[in-house]
Structure 1
């Protein structure tokens, strides 16, 4: 397996990974403007990009996922809860679904809380072991923190769902499972995020205080420390949903 983590200037983190032996690759949380980097990486590695994932509809940056997928004739993948919300076709992902890229196995974990459609991607390299090696956690779990729950406007409800997602989908896994988040320090998508771009489940269970809390205390803590909303959030969400400028304007009249 090859694995590349791309740390961007806005503190978001994107991923490019796959199976060099069988020439298959996937991209995760691509920023608009970065499409050429992925195409160049694919060319250098002699792999074809087969699936481009967004772990959710982003509110802090414009996604380049659809554009990259179009450029390389790949599937653009989102959680199925976006059906009827986005204004384009996409590959619908469901909880526990398996996507293969050569010997790289990617299992979709639906983890609502930061947003309704949030997913994590549990990755195994079959040339190494069938057991999961790492999980790309998007904006669900950060190093030292968790995703903000207020973007849907129902922060108490969504914080409770985030606690459920963390405990049902991530914290019950092996301690040495590596985690690779969607942001590091400097992002507005969570409070007190570490500058370290990776961790393990065991380390986070020991040192991330939010993960040791019961649901009530977790909800209180997470909703008490919500950062300011991302600048120009409405425009970025609208663009990532596939709305045109005219449509966006009409929704505010």
Structure 2
């Protein structure tokens, strides 16, 4: 298995990973302007990008995912609940995507947005246990996703608590996490500049995960919400095909 993380503008983190032996790869959370990097890296690894996946419809940066998928003839994937105005491959909770010896399990984790997903990745050449999870804007290093983008912050904060405790925190401590943003992003408060972590470390030191009571978590999360991203409405409109 090969794995590459790209730190890009707006403190975003994008990913390219897959099976070099079978020549298959997936691109996740591609930022507009970075499409050539994915093409070049795929060529260097001698793989075909078969799936381009968004962990949700982004509100802080323009996505390059759809453009990359069209350029390569790959499937462009979003959760089925995504509110967009163009065709896409709809993902559901529990779906399994195969890329050679690499398998990706879709976890629907609403809270930051309704369509938020995480991607649980297994390298079957190493074993059958999941190795890492791409957590999108659901769980960051040192923080969790903001719940207010849909305008129902208390409801969505509760759903985020449920997603974290039912989908992510049931995984082993040694599971690595790779989020969609790091320090400098407005998609959460208190993000670390470190681009990865483990669930065990986050369980011990992430202040929001220390709140095991649902009501206390909601209160803590909604008490400190950063300003909305600049040009949020314009970005969402572009990423959803409405502009």
TM-score of the two chains, using structure 1 as the length reference: 0.95
Alignment partner of 1:160 out of 152, 155, 158? 158
Q: Which residue matches 1:4? A: 4
What is the deviation of 1:130? 1.2
1:28-177 correspondence to structure 2 within 5 Å: 28-82=28-82, 85-177=83-175
Unaligned runs of 5+ in 1: 245-253
Match of 2:225 in 1: 226
Aligned-residue offset at 1:9: 2.7
1:78-114 alpha-carbon deviations (Å, 9 max, x no partner): 00012xx211110110001000011110000000000
Q: Structure 2: state its 5+ residue gaps.
A: none
Q: Distance in 2 between matches of 1:188 and 1:211?
A: 19
Q: SS of the residue aligned with 2:159?
A: helix
Paired residues, number? 242
Distance 1:243 1:156 in 2: 27
* Segments of 4+ moved more than 3 angstroms: none
Return the offset for 1:10. 1.5
User: How far apart are residue 115 of structure 1 and its match?
Assistant: 0.1
Deviations 1:157-187 (A, max 9, x none): 0000000000000011100000000100000
C-alpha displacement at 1:209, in angstroms?
1.7
SS class of match (2:9): coil
Alpha-carbon distance between aligned partners in 2 of 1:9 and 1:16, rounded to the nearest angstrom:
17
Q: Aligned to 1:175, what secondary structure does the other structure show? A: coil
Deviations 1:125-165 (A, max 9, x none): 01111110000000000001000000000000000000000
Rounded Cα–Cα distance in structure 2 between residues aligned with 1:72 and 1:45: 15
Q: Which residue of 2 aligns with 1:183?
A: 181
Q: What is the alpha-carbon distance in structure 2 between the residues aligned to residue 238 and residue 12 of structure 1?
A: 19
Query: Residues of 1 paired with 2:208 and 2:26: CA distance?
Result: 31
What is the SS of the residue equivalent to 1:108?
A: strand
Partner of 1:195: 193
